């Protein structure tokens, strides 16, 4: 029988690429990102927060350091183990749950849900994206809010590079990236190659691209009564100066 496992369901992918995806600079950036998210969403001191697809917990940990009650959900056990270890080291009380965002739902449990760093839109079937949004809507209390941070079609078109490469000067690891837009600008296909000493590792990853108008329509279609779209976490307009696509839905 043919293996139909997708790239995002492959634990070995996340294990291999984890140190590159969650570089030290990205971990450090969580402080500034949570500063901006807290202000944009006007997070209250007693708000219950869900960090959906929390990865190694960089945002969950930062929220907990500020005294918030946080639940982090991710499908990758290795990432959750790392997050739990760091939380224990800092004596932080965080609930980490292993689960798939397509199936995790906790009705009316949270005031805030965050989806950071393009952790959404991995699925070939757009109905699965819709299922994720509906799960979030069900998990929010009345008056709650949901923030998605990603690149939109508009920002991706402005910054698009067909090929790119990066070198980690600390360990000499070189990463080559090749990108291709397909399906009428609705799908991004990526080829990542890691050169580590004499080792060469290659993976293909892909995800859906949304325009600002499209992600707003999806959130409304799933029940959110108001949606604001911004060009960054500071709440600047989603216009020609936008650096990323940030959508906030209110229940």
Per-residue pLDDT tens over the stretch 163-204: 999 998 778 899 999 999 999 999 999 999 999 999 999 999
Total-model pTM: 0.96
Report how far residue 209's alpha carbon sits from residue 186's, in angstroms, rounded to the nearest whole number: 5
Instruction: State the helix-helix crossing angle for 77-89 and 11-21, rounded to 10 degrees.
Output: 50
Nearby residues of 73 by Cβ (< 8 Å), 6 or more positions away: 50, 51, 52, 53, 54, 96, 97, 98, 99, 101, 104
User: For residue 7, what are the β-bridge partners?
Assistant: none
Span 98-124, pLDDT tens digits = 999 999 999 999 999 999 999 999 999
Write down the pLDDT at residue 2: 45
d(CA 98, CA 21): 19
């Amino acid at each position: 029988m043919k293996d139909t496992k997708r790239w995002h369901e492959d634990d070995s992918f996340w294990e291999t690429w984890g140190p590159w995806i969650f570089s030290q600079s990205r971990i450090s950036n969580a402080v500034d990102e949570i500063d901006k998210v807290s202000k944009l969403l006007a997070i209250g001191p007693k708000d219950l927060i869900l960090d959906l697809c929390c990865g190694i917990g960089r945002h969950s940990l930062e929220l907990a350091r500020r005294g918030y009650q946080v639940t982090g959900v991710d499908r990758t056990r290795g990432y959750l183990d790392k997050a739990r270890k760091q939380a224990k080291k800092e004596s932080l009380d965080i609930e980490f749950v292993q689960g798939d965002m397509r199936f995790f739902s906790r009705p009316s449990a949270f005031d805030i849900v965050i989806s950071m760093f393009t952790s959404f839109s991995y699925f070939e079937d757009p109905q699965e994206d819709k299922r994720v949004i509906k799960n979030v809507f069900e998990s929010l209390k009345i008056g709650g809010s949901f923030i998605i941070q990603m690149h939109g079609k508009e920002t991706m078109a402005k910054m698009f590079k067909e090929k790119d490469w990066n070198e980690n000067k600390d360990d000499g690891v070189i990463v080559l990236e090749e990108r291709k837009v397909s399906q009428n600008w609705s799908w991004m296909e990526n080829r990542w190659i890691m050169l580590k000493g004499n080792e060469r590792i290659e993976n293909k990853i892909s995800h859906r691209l949304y325009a600002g108008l499209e992600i707003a329509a999806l959130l409304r279609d799933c029940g959110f009564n108001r949606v604001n779209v911004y060009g960054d976490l500071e709440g600047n307009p989603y216009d020609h100066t936008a650096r990323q696509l940030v959508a906030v839905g209110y229940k």
